[in-house]
Amino acid sequence: MGLRTRLTLYYTGVLALTLLVFGLVTYLVMGRMLLLEADRAITAKADEVIRSVTVMHMPMMRFQRIILPNVDAFSSPGTYLQVVDLEGSIVGRSENLGLQDLPFSQDTIQRTTAGSGYYETVEVQGEKLRLYNRPLAVRDQVLGVLQVGRSLRPMTSALAYLRLVLLAGSFLALVLAATLGYQLARAALRPIIHLTRVAAAIGAGPDLARRVPDGGPADEVGQLAATFNSMLERLEAAYRNLEEAYAAERRFVADASHELRTPLTTIRGNVELLQRMGQGDAAILADMADEAERMTRLVNELLTLARADAGRHLRKEPVDLGKMAADVARQAPHLGKSRFTASLAGLNEAVVQGDPDYLKQLLLILLENAFKYTPAEGAVTLEAGESEGYWGLAVKDTGHGISEKDLPHIFERFYRADPARGRGGTGLGLAIAKWIAEEHLGRIEVSSRLGEGSTFTVWLPRGVPPSLEEEVI
């Protein structure tokens, strides 16, 4: 669930709870107040009746006459009156009662006359009445019970109306709050979503100099944008430093390799001179010549890789792959003692776009390796092939192969599998071969089994023959 939905749910929930508590309290207080108001009205009415009881003194006789008022005069719509004597006979009642009596029992009379009266809620013919039972006393003489009733219908309908208003109001408030809240949350989160998108784009792209827009107000989102930008700033600086260090290292390797070439040439020349003059220990001189040659190779390979790292690209021209492979095949038998065969018939009119010298170097690296890691009684083969859109050149050998453990690493710089050590070599050949293949938009595939031999296949995309190329232009 998104933050937007969660936020909306949270505060709609809180609002629903508040409305529930508020509605309940309002409803209960209102009910209580209306009941008190009814009680006050019937008490006032009862007082009025009591006040109008008159006592007539009869001087002739020893008793006095009590005249009860005509209770009907006190009634009004919804207010009913009834007088019951102590024997339980109704001695007066308001006419609006019709055929109905206000309910009373012996218990009512006892309870009323024992105290100062009480209120109760009764139901008469389905209508709720608030009833006040009050002792009818004159000069401390209790004569009966005065009952004043008042219909609770207005109160019930007022409460029903209030209930309706509260429910409908709450429902409307909730719908409104949820809708508006959702929109608000959306508006509030929009800058964050935008920020996330921009940040993701910067993270995925190569350009660390990009920044998220933070021209908005300095609120939480603004702070987030500023924090993110300062983080990017540091990242960019660190990356720049790293790039600079890397470039300096590349420059150093390139310069060092370049500078080493001249003294190495001199050393090799001098060793050769000594050998020709027959001076010095022949074995030591041969050793020196070998090592100087190995070092020259290493230096040249390092230079090639340093230039590749610096982003150097090869020049491209249409190359007749068949002819180039045939040239290399002619040199191949001199690379080692193993039997060598080449079948290049498949490369008739095979043209690729590339640098002929580097393509030759690529093939030579693979062939040199094949001879180097294959015993004299083994065989090395150079075969041609093709697959969808690619020309293939496969160098096969029946040498000692490459273990599964080493296979994923042989294209890494300076990686040499155990049996290869001590066989002369730099560990850079395949790294260069891979770079050359990739520069030509091709790839090298290798399959090998320990003890059985290896196959390295170079796949190069088919180029347009020079004659056709002109037509295309």
Q: Evaluate whether 310 touches 440 at the Cβ level (below 8 Å).
A: no
Interaction between residue 426 and ligand ADP (CB under 6 A): yes
Tell which one of 212, 302, 308, 420 touches ligand ADP (CB under 6 A).
Answer: 420
The residues near 78 (Cβ < 8 Å, ≥ 6 apart) are: 150, 151, 153, 154
# chain residues binding ligand ADP, by CB under 6 A: 20
H or E segment and range at residue 432: helix 429-439
- DSSP code string of 56-112: EE-SSSSSEEEE---GGGG-BTTEEEEEEETTS-EEEE-GGGTT------HHHHHHH
Using CB under 6 A, which residues numbered 162 to 191 contact ligand ADP?
none
Q: How far is the CB of 408 from ligand ADP (least distance, A)?
A: 11
Binding mask 387-406 for ligand ADP (x = CB under 6 A): ----------x-x-xx----
Q: Evaluate whether 411 touches 402 at the Cβ level (below 8 Å).
A: no
Span near ligand ADP by CB under 6 A; candidates 107-115, 253-261, 330-338, 412-420: 412-420
Nearer to ligand ADP, 155 or 437 (CB): 437
Tell which one of 425, 461, 462, 465 touches ligand ADP (CB under 6 A).
Answer: 425
Interaction between residue 430 and ligand ADP (CB under 6 A): yes
H or E segment and range at residue 227: helix 220-277
Using CB under 6 A, which residues numbered 343 to 382 contact ligand ADP?
369-370, 373
Q: How far is the CB of 443 from ligand ADP (least distance, A)?
A: 16
**Sheet strands (E) in 313-413:** 317-320, 339-343, 351-354, 379-387, 390-397
Q: How far is the CB of 308 from ligand ADP (least distance, A)?
A: 14
Counting beta carbons within 10 angstroms of the beta carbon of residue 188, is it exposed (0 to 12), middle (13 to 18) or buried (19 or more)? middle
**Sheet strands (E) in 355-426:** 379-387, 390-397
Phi, psi at residue 116, to the nearest 5°?
-110, 20
Interaction between residue 103 and ligand ADP (CB under 6 A): no
Interaction between residue 94 and ligand ADP (CB under 6 A): no
Span near ligand ADP by CB under 6 A; candidates 48-56, 191-199, 302-310, 421-429: 421-429
Nearer to ligand ADP, 129 or 432 (CB): 432
Rounded to a whole number of angstroms, the distance between the first and last alpha carbons of the chain is 58
Tell which one of 427, 441, 450, 462 touches ligand ADP (CB under 6 A).
Answer: 427
Interaction between residue 31 and ligand ADP (CB under 6 A): no
Span near ligand ADP by CB under 6 A; candidates 131-139, 189-197, 252-260, 418-426: 418-426
Tell which one of 429, 437, 439, 463 touches ligand ADP (CB under 6 A).
Answer: 429
Tell which one of 454, 457, 458, 460 touches ligand ADP (CB under 6 A).
Answer: 454
Q: How far is the CB of 367 from ligand ADP (least distance, A)?
A: 9
Q: What angle do CA 244, 245, 249 make, to 5 degrees?
A: 115
Q: How many CB atoms lie within 10 A of CB 428?
A: 21
Nearest residue to 92 via CA among 81, 103, 78: 81
Q: How far is the CB of 425 from ligand ADP (least distance, A)?
A: 3
Nearer to ligand ADP, 133 or 381 (CB): 381
Nearer to ligand ADP, 65 or 421 (CB): 421
Q: How many CB atoms lie within 10 A of CB 57?
A: 9
Q: Evaluate whether 308 touches 435 at the Cβ level (below 8 Å).
A: yes
Tell which one of 393, 410, 437, 458 touches ligand ADP (CB under 6 A).
Answer: 410
Phi, psi at residue 391, to the nearest 5°?
-95, 145
Residues near ligand ADP (CB under 6 A) are 369-370, 373, 397, 399, 401-402, 410, 415-417, 420, 425-431, 454
